[in-house]
Structures are given as structure tokens and as C-alpha cells.
């Protein structure tokens, strides 16, 4: 998530009430660790991740521990880095109520049809020759390419499902990212595609999604994928090009499904899997192995009779 213009660390420190240590830097945006770039502000509030974050590409790090700043980095010492980072997201990407079904700040391309009842939010960009069907909602800052179809009741750009648990309850991690639908994508009815928390959720060119699918925050789906009905894809997941997920496939967070993989219906994936192979089961395994195990299980009762 980029700032409207680069910010000096002193400006950031003033907003969140932090102590500055280290290099006198400027920052270009906010990002979590998995998408952080040089020039970004990120945060860390758990000892498990201190070293990883301190050695990341981030230029400015909000941290709740007094440590020596790495070379050319700025530390902002704050007792609650999560809250401070949330405060920055809400300042630079606040919720903006809309006063019309199609925001005056939206940019809509040639020959694109917005059916009655659809909602197009603030700063949305939609390309040429698209169809947005009735009751679809395109939330703020979403970007849609050319020749895209979004069917009725789908939501593009809802908040990421991301909460920090505390003794008094859950604290929401506010979403400042976007959804990007590339050219020739089709989204079925009643789908939900969550925006990134700080980065982008991306659906690649030519990918087709059936009805009632869920895509979590910061997930990246490649080109020419097929996503069957009721698929549930968790956040921060990478699905490479030419992958097929048939109906009711469930995909865990922060894993990769490599190019050309096929997951048969009702499978569940809990770890990174290789491409150009077909999988089945929960947890998913290579389909030939699955069927050998299935046949063996069917024969198990007869086999056990030998030991009675």
C-alpha cells in the first residue's frame, strides 16, 4: 500500500507517537513482511520474528523492543506495533462512504455494462468490454481489466479476515490493499474475493471462477486457472498458472500450488504441492496413490479375518 506521497520518518513518528532510532529515512508505503519492499514501513511485535523483520527489505520498522537499528534502517519504538500500523492504514486508506451506486471517482472503460443494482466504489478502475451484473459489489480501489465478467451478488474487495487475539477479544487488522482482476477473468455468482491487507489480491489473466468461491486476502492466482464451485482459498496463498481446482476444494493459507496441478473435487491442501500432477483426498495426495490406499482400505476387513 503506497502513501499518497513519500513521508519523512518524523511525520510517521508524530502520527503514531513513536521514538525514532537510526537513519533519517523517508518511506513510500506500508506493507506486511511477506510483501515488504525497500522504502516500506512494516512492523514486528513478537520475538519470533524480530530477526526476520530487522533483516527484511523494509526501510522503517515499528518495533516494541529497544535494539540497535540495522544499517540504513529506521526503527520506530512503540509499545504496540500492531496498533500503530493499523493507525497508519486507517489514516491513509480510511473507509469512505459512497453517495451513489457508481462513485463519481470510478473510471469505467468503453463498452462496459454496469447492470442495475450493481455497486461501484470509490477509485475503482474498470476496463473495456466488461459486464458487472446486478447486485455485484466492487469495493473501493479495486482494479478490473478488459473483457471481465462479474456475476450477480459477488463481492470484489471485501476486508481481509485477519484479527489479533487479545484477552479482551479480537482486534481487526484493517485492510488497505486492493483486488486486481486481470483481463478476461470471469467471476461466478456469489463469490467473495478479499482485498489484500497491505498488498494486492490478484486473479490472473484468463482465470475462470465458478459460483460461491472464497479467495482470501493477499492471495495470488495465476493465469488460465479454473476454480470450481464452493472452493475456499485461504489468504497469502500462491496458485500458479494453469491450475484446476474442482468443486469444494479447500486450500490452506501461505502455501503454493504449482503450475499445472489439478485438485479433484472435495480435496483439501495443507502444504505446498508440485505442479503437473493430479491430487485427491484430504489431505490431498497424488491420485494414483490415493486410489491404491482406497482399494487397500476396502480389502482390510477380509484381511483382518485371517487373524481372528
CA 66, 67, 69, 73: dihedral to nearest 10 degrees? -60
End-to-end CA, the chain: 66
CA distance 213 to 155: 11
CA distance 181 to 205: 8
Q: Which residues contact 63 (CB under 8 A, 6 or more apart)?
A: 43, 44, 45, 50, 53, 54, 75, 76, 77, 78, 81
Grid cell for residue 200? 494486492
217 is catalytic: yes
Active site residues: 217
Amino acid at each position: 500500500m503506497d502513501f499518497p506521497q513519500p513521508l519523512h520518518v518524523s511525520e510517521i513518528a508524530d502520527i503514531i507517537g513513536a521514538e525514532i532510532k537510526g537513519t533519517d529515512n523517508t518511506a513510500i508505503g506500508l506493507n506486511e513482511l511477506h510483501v515488504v519492499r525497500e522504502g516500506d514501513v512494516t512492523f514486528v511485535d513478537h520475538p519470533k520474528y524480530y530477526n526476520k523483520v530487522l533483516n527484511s527489505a523494509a526501510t522503517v520498522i515499528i518495533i516494541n523492543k529497544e535494539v540497535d537499528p540495522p544499517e540504513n534502517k529506521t526503527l520506530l519504538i512503540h509499545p504496540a506495533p500492531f496498533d500503530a500500523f493499523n493507525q497508519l492504514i486507517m489514516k491513509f486508506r480510511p473507509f469512505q462512504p459512497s453517495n451513489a451506486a457508481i462513485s463519481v471517482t470510478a473510471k469505467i472503460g468503453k463498452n462496459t455494462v454496469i447492470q442495475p443494482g450493481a455497486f461501484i466504489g470509490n477509485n475503482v478502475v474498470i476496463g473495456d468490454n466488461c459486464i458487472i451484473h446486478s447486485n455485484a459489489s466492487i469495493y473501493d480501489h479495486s482494479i478490473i481489466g478488459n473483457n471481465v465478467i462479474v456475476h450477480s451478488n459477488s463481492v470484489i474487495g471485501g476486508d481481509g479476515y485477519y484479527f489479533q487475539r487479545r484477552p479482551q477479544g479480537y482486534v481487526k487488522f484493517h485492510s488497505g490493499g486492493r483486488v486486481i482482476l486481470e483481463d478476461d477473468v470471469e467471476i461466478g455468482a456469489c463469490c467473495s474475493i478479499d482485498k489484500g491487507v497491505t498488498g494486492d489480491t490478484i486473479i490472473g489473466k484468463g482465470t475462470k471462477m465458478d459460483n460461491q468461491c472464497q479467495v482470501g486476502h493477499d492471495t495470488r492466482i495465476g493465469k488460465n486457472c479454473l476454480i470450481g464451485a464452493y472452493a475456499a482459498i485461504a489468504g497469502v496463498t500462491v496458485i500458479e498458472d494453469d491450475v484446476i481446482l474442482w468443486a469444494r476444494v479447500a486450500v490452506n493459507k501461505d502455501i503454493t500450488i504449482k503450475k499445472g496441478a489439478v485438485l479433484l473435487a472435495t480435496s483439501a491442501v495443507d502444504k505446498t504441492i508440485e505442479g503437473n500432477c493430479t491430487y485427491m483426498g484430504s489431505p490431498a495426495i497424488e491420485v494414483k496413490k490415493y486410489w491404491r490406499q482406497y482399494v487397500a482400505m476396502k480389502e482390510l476387513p477380509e484381511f483382518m479375518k485371517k487373524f481372528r
